[in-house]
Amino acid sequence: MTSSVRTVSIAFALCATLGARSFAQPLPDAATILDRYVEVTGGRGAYESHKSEIMTGVIEFPAQGLKGKLTRYSAPGEEYSTVDMQGIGAIESGVFGGVAWEKSLLLGPRIKKGEEKDQAIRESAFNGPIHWRQLYPKAATAGTQTIDGEECYDVILTPASGKPEHQFFSRKTGFLVRSTTVAASQMGDIDVEVNVSDYRSFGGVLMPTRSKQRAGSQELIIAIDAVRVNEEIPETRFEPPSEVTALVPAPDGSAH
C-alpha cells in the first residue's frame, strides 16, 4: 500500500470515527430548541413588548398566475386576515371570541369546527413562539434532517387536538427553516409544507418575511413587506361580518 493510499484510508477511518461520534451525541431536547428560537429571534422581553401587529405583504400562486395583497391584524386572542386576489375578490378569515371563521365570494361565509377550528385558533395565537408549551402539550426531538444544505433539528409538536406538526430548526442559527403537518380543511386532510427564510426585525423580533408553501398540489409564495407593531387597532376590526355572525350558534344551539 502506497503512502498516499494509506493517508486516504486513514482519512476515511477518521471521518467514520468522527461521524459515529457525532451520531452518538445526544440530541438536545425539544424545550432547549424551542426556547433557543425565542432567544435568537429577540428574546421573551421583545415578544412581550408586542401588543398588536399589522402585517402586509403579497401572496402569489405562480402556476395559476394569480397574485394578491395580504393584510393581517393580530392581537392577544384575536386575528383578522384579508387577501384581495385578482379575479377572485376578497377572502377573509379570523378568530374572535373563540370563533374561527372564513368568508369568500366563491364559497360564502362559514364557521370552522373541530380540528380545523382548533388549528385556526392555534395558528392565530399572538406571540406563539413564547407560548409553545400551552399550544403543544407534547414536544419531542425526533432527529436531524438536512434542508437545502443546512443541518436541522426535527421537533415534533403535538397539540391537544389535531395532527402532530414537524418543525425544523437550523442547528447553526436556531432559526425555524421548515414546518410540515397534515392540516384539516373543508376539503379534508391536506399535506402542508412551509419553508421560511429572510428573517427581518420588526419591533425587536426577527420574523421570516418569505415563505414558500405547498398545500396538496397547490404551491404559493408569501412575501411580507412590513409588520407595524403596537399600532392601535379598533376592536371592530376583529369582529366577524354579519353574514358570519348569523351562523354562530346561540347558547341554545340554534343559529343567531
Between CA 215 and CA 224 the distance in angstroms is 19
Helix (H) or strand (E) holding 22: helix 3-24
Between CA 97 and CA 53 the distance in angstroms is 18
Between CA 129 and CA 123 the distance in angstroms is 11
> Once rounded to an integer, what is the mean pLDDT over residues 123-137?
97
> Once rounded to an integer, what is the mean pLDDT over residues 100-128?
95
Contact (Cβ atoms closer than 8 angstroms) between residue 196 and residue 177: yes
| pLDDT number for residue 87 | 81
Residue 16: which pLDDT band, with cuts at 50, 70 and 90? very low
Domain boundaries, the chain: 27-245
Contact (Cβ atoms closer than 8 angstroms) between residue 142 and residue 8: no
Between CA 46 and CA 210 the distance in angstroms is 21
Q: Is 233 helix (H, G, I), strand (E, B) or coil?
A: coil
> Once rounded to an integer, what is the mean pLDDT over residues 94-102?
96
- Whether 251 shows a pLDDT value over 80: the answer reads no
- Whether 68 shows a pLDDT value over 50: the answer reads yes
Q: Is the domain defined by 27-245 classed in CATH 3.30.360.10?
A: no
> Once rounded to an integer, what is the mean pLDDT over residues 242-256?
77
212-242: per-residue pLDDT in tens? 999 988 999 999 999 999 999 999 999 999 9
| pLDDT number for residue 20 | 46
CA dihedral 101, 106, 108, 110 (to 10 degrees): -30
Q: Which residues, in sequence order, are CB contacts of 55 under 8 Å at separation 6+?
A: 70, 71, 72, 73, 74, 224, 226, 227, 228
| pLDDT number for residue 250 | 67
- Whether 253 shows a pLDDT value over 70: the answer reads no
Q: What is the mean pLDDT of the chain?
A: 90
Between CA 239 and CA 8 the distance in angstroms is 69
Work out the percent of the chain whose per-residue pLDDT is above 70: 88
